Amino acid sequence: MKPTKSIPKSHSDFWKILPIFVTWRIILFVLAFLAVFFITKFGNRFPYADRVLSITNLPSWVWGFGNFDGVHYLKLAQNGYEAQYSQAFFPLYPLLIKLFNFFPKGNLDPSLYTDPSYFYTGIILSTALFIAALYFLLKLWGKEYSSKVAWLSILLLLSFPTSFYFGAIYSESLFFLLAVLTFWFVKKDKFILAGIMVALASATKVQGVLLTVFLAVELWEKYKGRIKNAGKDLLRDVFGVIISPLGLFAYMYYLYRKFSDPIYFLTVQPAFGAERSSLPLVTLPQVIYRYVKMLFSLDPGSLGFWNATLELFVTVISISGLIYAFRKIKFSYWIFVALVVIFPTMTGTLSSMPRYVLMAFPLLPLIAKFNKTSRYIIIAQVLLGIVLVALFIRGYWVA
């Protein structure tokens, strides 16, 4: 009898991740479908829905995953930075949509409409990127923690109330994959590959520079006390850190050449509302004080009140988790999470914080170690997530 060949663990992990992802994706579509019946009026809180999304001839519970920022990414993929203030969105994600769009195009006027093929490509791309991110995240956490903690952390991530952004036409899936790969290559002691991932991340979101800080801290921890004897290894790893912000620098150079403003992605922020300022930077206590005052002035029956409540609640919980995690996770991980939580607040608002904290994923294994508690957290997250998915799909601002 011939011995049976065992399936490599890496393949086994992929085939375990895939059905979990598919289940998550189906649940999102079901919730989106039901949202159409429970929230009959479309919020229409963003432009171009008729020219970018409904023109796909797909049901609204499908094209709803392109709402809000999605329309800007799709227009960028087709037309580049022609629209005013579109420079707020970094280029790599829409560029990938453009590069991988192999669908046949229609005869629509590109100055007025976005070809539906870009929507199809965007959904497929986000799906593929997120599956890859989950796979490498499971491998990373499998090496750092027990298998049980790794899998429970994945469930905590998928059940997070704003995790649906990973399946939407947003750059979250791409940035998340690049962040996970950065952690993975650092774990493998491959700083140049990690630096390349960070360079790509910094061309995806401005938060990519936070990974440069993470990389620098990892470099310091690796060589502290033995720099003199490090030799070529140190030069190689330093090179990885040096190249890490090149994506951001390349985008800044492009903005300087075309719009005479290298930080145009910051200066256009006030145009998108949310009372987000560009400069000067605002401290976290100032922002929290402002939100507390806001809650006393807003109508408790308004969506704005509950948006502000959610943003403040998520921020406070994230900061509490950050304080608890000090010295309980790797210092470089802690620094990255601290920057993920604090950096967005420096624009003077907590808007989008429920989405931004998705990148605080190094905290999840810490929660997963409390097996019974994490189960209740998952239930609470799912219940809140149902509401947020419904609102987002029906055109109401969530994050």
Are residues 379 and 361 located together in one domain of the fold?
no
> What tens digit of pLDDT does each residue of 282-296 get?
888 899 999 999 999
Residues 6+ apart with CB under 8 A from 306: none
Q: Is 140 helix (H, G, I), strand (E, B) or coil?
A: helix
> What tens digit of pLDDT does each residue of 326-373 get?
999 999 999 999 999 999 998 888 999 999 999 999 999 999 988 788
Are residues 377 and 363 located together in one domain of the fold?
no
159-176 average pLDDT score:
98
Share the mean pLDDT of the chain.
Answer: 92
Are residues 170 and 47 located together in one domain of the fold?
yes
Whole-angstrom CA distances from 394 to 31, 59, 111, 234, 388 are 11, 12, 26, 52, 10
| 8 Å CB contact between 49 and 395 | yes
Indicate whether 36 belongs to any domain: yes
Eight-state DSSP code of residue 148? H
pLDDT value at 381 more than 60: yes
CA proximity to 61, closest of 363, 378, 392, 367: 392
Are residues 49 and 131 located together in one domain of the fold?
yes
Residue 232 confidence (pLDDT): 81
Are residues 100 and 197 located together in one domain of the fold?
no
Helix then strand then coil, in percent of the chain rounded to 5, is 70, 0, 30
- Rounded Cα distance between 5 and 8, Å, is 9
Are residues 83 and 133 located together in one domain of the fold?
yes
Indicate whether 267 belongs to any domain: no
- Rounded Cα distance between 363 and 372, Å, is 17
Tell me the residue length of the chain. 399
Q: Looking at 227, 259, 291, which one is the last position of a domain?
A: 259
Tokens encoding 321: 């988790």
| 8 Å CB contact between 291 and 350 | yes
Are residues 22 and 152 located together in one domain of the fold?
yes
Q: Is 230 helix (H, G, I), strand (E, B) or coil?
A: coil
Q: Is 317 helix (H, G, I), strand (E, B) or coil?
A: helix
| 8 Å CB contact between 309 and 315 | no
Are residues 43 and 109 located together in one domain of the fold?
yes
Indicate whether 199 belongs to any domain: yes
Are residues 197 and 292 located together in one domain of the fold?
no
Indicate whether 265 belongs to any domain: no
Q: Which of 63-77, 104-118, 155-169, 179-193 is least confident?
A: 104-118
Are residues 328 and 386 located together in one domain of the fold?
no
Q: Per the omega criterion (within 30 degrees of 0), is the bond before 365 cis? A: no
Indicate whether 286 belongs to any domain: yes
66-88 b/e (C-beta count within 10 Å ≥ 16 → b):
bbbbbbbbbbbbbeebeeebbbb
96-125 average pLDDT score:
94
* pTM for the predicted model, two decimal places: 0.94
pLDDT value at 135 more than 90: yes
Residue-range definition of the domain harbouring residue 341: 282-368
Domain count across the chain: 3
Residue 6 confidence (pLDDT): 47
Are residues 106 and 14 located together in one domain of the fold?
yes
260-264 average pLDDT score:
93
pLDDT value at 1 more than 50: no
Q: Which of 39-43, 268-272, 303-307 is least confident?
A: 268-272
Considering 123-132, 218-227, 231-240, 291-300, the range whose residues carry the highest mean pLDDT is 123-132
Are residues 378 and 355 located together in one domain of the fold?
no
